[in-house]
Amino acid sequence: MRFGYSERCLAHDTGDRHPENPDRLRAIRRGLAKRHGVEYTEADPASRAAVTAVHDEGYVDELESFCADGGGNWDPDTVAGEETWDAALMSAGLAQWAAETALAGENGRRTPFSIGRPPGHHAVPDDAMGFCFFNNAAVAAQSVIDDGLADSVAIFDWDVHHGNGTQDVFYDRGDVFYASIHEEGLYPDTGDLLETGQGSGEGTTANLPLAAGAGDADYRYAVEEAIAPAIERFDPDLLVVSAGFDAHRHDPISRMRVSSEGYALLTDRMRALVDRLDAAAAYVLEGGYGLDTLAEGVSMVHETYDGRSPVVDDAEPDERTEQLVAELRTALDL
């Protein structure tokens, strides 16, 4: 794969004890150093215009001033420093690079994956939250639509937390489909199954809040029976995967049971989906707070695109997952 990366993202200083810290990117780089076929690219930072296409100008101005004044705690969880402004613009720019590169025809072993920080999927149009300042995936999706590179974009968010910000940006839009598998009741406690969009966006949001303890079989079943069919019906030009790795069974802040192999399975299903659709695919880093499991998860995505076939076990999904999937299929009229 081609990885979008910039040292400027390391300058976002959240403090030594914050789970979202520069060591996340360093761990990913160490993990990828053991793999073949890894290529790094640095992109331009996002412009203010690209950011304000999905965020309110007043919020963007306030964040810039906050960082220029030295930063601090934006909220109890979300910490900024003087360099956060530049890092956030770079993280969004890397996501733009991934989307644009994918639509330019880079695929297979050259599929783009942006590994920027801070992450983005909790950032709502007028506020930062959940470690996120600019919604990287949303900026990328909006920019390729605005630039005429794509008519429609699907975003599949497999982070353990619901991407409330991404949903909010596109909830009433018919040109962007947002799908999320997340842990029920976990921060920010959004993403109800019956939230399917409104107005022009009716039917373009798909939420699957799985019970704590869901593992590989549950995720595989959810993708094969609901998420992939919904995206396939939407038929996007581009699929952006908001790739968080905090549903891993050893991640310190969730109770899910996805294995490293499970991320290979998810990647394989997404790769097959875009092949069927003749669509482009780009990956954008979100969460993941166990350094070893984060590095392993990203490496599994890379190895899957490098030709490694995932191992599928014979485990069956939980009955609760089967029921939720059936309810989602009904809600989306699949």
Q: Which residues are catalytic?
A: 122
CA 210 to chain centre: 17
* CB-based contacts of 109, cutoff 8 Å, min separation 6: 1, 37, 305, 306, 307
β-strand partners of 112: 2
Distance CA 292, CA 310 (A): 19
Residue 144 has which token pair? 């390729």
Angle at which helices 23-32 and 291-305 cross, to 10°: 40
Q: Is 319 left (phi over 0), alpha (psi -120 to 50) or beta?
A: alpha
DSSP 4-33: E--GGGGG----TT-SSSTHHHHHHHHHHT
Neighbours of 257 (CB within 10 A): 18
C-alpha 228/C-alpha 105 separation (Å) is: 22
- From its phi and psi, is residue 305 left (phi > 0), alpha (psi between -120 and 50) or beta? alpha
| The token pair that represents 49 in the structure block | 């215009």
